[in-house]
Structures are given as structure tokens and as C-alpha cells.
Amino acid sequence: MASNETIGFVGVGLMGHGIAKNILEKGYSVTVAAHRNRAPVEDLVARGATEAASLADLAAASTIVFLCLTDSAAVEQVVRGLEPGLAAGSVVVDCSTADPSVTERIAARLAEKGVDYCDSPLGGTPVQAEAGQLQAIVGAAPAVFERLKPVFETWAARVVHIGGVGDGHRMKLVNNFLSLGYGAIYAEALAIAAKSGLSVTQFDKVIRGSRMDCGFYQTFMGYALDGNREAHRFTLANAYKDLRYVEAMADAGPVAAPVASAVKNAYARAVAMGGDGPEDYVPHLTDWVARANGLPGRDDGGA
């Protein structure tokens, strides 16, 4: 490691733990703070990280602070906690999928203190996070990006500097609209197939390996076909949140986005019907669409 940067990390959950672990293993000094679950914090401390007593203490110990949180409200709350300890010349990097308008507002406030801000939402899964094989979609000033790039490369197989602050979050929302749209289409297609007398296996025999196949399809079908509840660990509640941000971004355009609204409503219905738990993941949408159409989901003994 040819750097004297010190790293702070807030939000070492499903994605953040793997990122922080890889930064630590590449020789950087890492300070962490518990946000919700203590188990990943304790694991990182056992690997050599330091636990901060407060967010301000974490900021004071760090030249670069990474955030990997659930939404913009959580990001704003954590940044407020960091601010007393942030020194001029430090950088805050938000790896969450967040509202771009909030991102720009936080960046402007921190700039007054001489603190740079970068949005770097993630592409990939928790398995890829642990393996250091994520994609970083980076919105930052060019000089800030060049400073951060060596750290990104400790945990990302692909680093894309997409533009200025806010552009990373804008691109991530468009990306998630595509992927979550696939999920809504797959779930509805499987329900139509089942009502027509076709099994999941028959459906998969045609789609897998065809032009309609893709990496997202394969992880999604890990549950629908094989019953692996953890094939794609991204919650329905987070999907619904991201799609609300997509809809808000379209409204700000303004852009007529009836497909985005329909996709959002598919996830909204699943969350409203009870799919709002921490282990209710995107592939489980198949169960909620099935139930809405009088079919058993896999969890109900369906196939």
C-alpha cells in the first residue's frame, strides 16, 4: 500500500463488511463504527480494525470515510454525526443507493467546511463484496476520483468514473430500475406460465442459455428454481425504496415513466402484503406475485 490515507467505515452490513475487509487486507488502517449489527464490527476488529466510540471520533481518525447505509435519511443522519470530527481535506464517500438531490445537498454543505464528497454506489452482490469483485459507479470531481481510485481498487473489479457528484447515484438508480424491472417481469412471467400449466423447470429450460439469459436472471432463479433463499440478498424493502427514488428522479425530469411506476408498484404490493422483513429478498417477489394470483408460492409448497 503506497498511501498514508486512513479509512473510516460506517455501515458494515451485507455489502459494507466485504468492502471494509478488503480495504483492511490491502494494508490500510481502518476504523469502524457499529450502525445496527455488531457481529461484522467484531469480525473486522478481530482482523485488525479499530472501533470508534462515536461517529465524530471515527471522522477524526480518518482521511476518507466510507458510508454503506440503507437510504438517504440514514446517510444524512450519519453525516451529521461525522461533521464535528471531519477535518478540511478529508473525503466522505457514500456507497449507498441514495436520492441524488440529497447527495448534492450534503456535498454542498460539506464543501463549505473544505470536505469533499463522492457518491459511489455499488454494483454486485454480498458474495462479490467479500471477494473484492464489486463495481464502483463513481460521481466525483476528477481530482477527488484520482485520490480515491487506489482505495476503490482494493474492493472493486470495475471502477467507473461516471461524472460529478450525484451522477453516480443517478446512474445507479437507472441501473436498479433495469434489474428490478427484470425481477418484476420474471415474477409475473412465472405466474402466467404456472396458470397456463407450465412449470418453473420448463420455463427455465427455454430461458437459460438463450438471449434472454443474464447474470441477474440466474441469481433470481436461484430461488424460484432451486429454493435458495439467499441466492440474491437484496431486500424487497430496499428495492421498493430504490424505485421510489427512480420515480422521484423521473418526476424531477419531468419524464413520463409508466413502466417505472408499474415496477415500483409490483414491489410496493409485495412489501404491503408482508414482504418487508430483513430476509425477504428480491427473488421472493415470485411468491408474492403468485399469491396475488391465487397460486402457492415456493414457501407455501409451490414449485
Residues 6+ apart with CB under 8 A from 258: none
The set of catalytic residues is 172
Only one residue has cell 454494483, namely 123
State how far the Cα of 138 lies from the Cα of 151, in Å rounded to an integer.
12
Structure-block grid coordinates of residue 46: 478481530
State how far the Cα of 6 lies from the Cα of 208, in Å rounded to an integer.
45
What's the half-sphere exposure (Cβ side, CA atoms, 13 Å) at 33? 25
Task: Output the DSSP codes for 158-204.
Answer: EEEEEESTTHHHHHHHHHHHHHHHHHHHHHHHHHHHHHTT--HHHHH
Structure-block grid coordinates of residue 145: 476520483
Structure-block grid coordinates of residue 128: 462479490
**Bridge partners for 62 per DSSP:** none
State how far the Cα of 20 lies from the Cα of 54, in Å rounded to an integer.
18
> What secondary structure letter does DSSP report for 243?
H
Structure-block grid coordinates of residue 38: 455488531
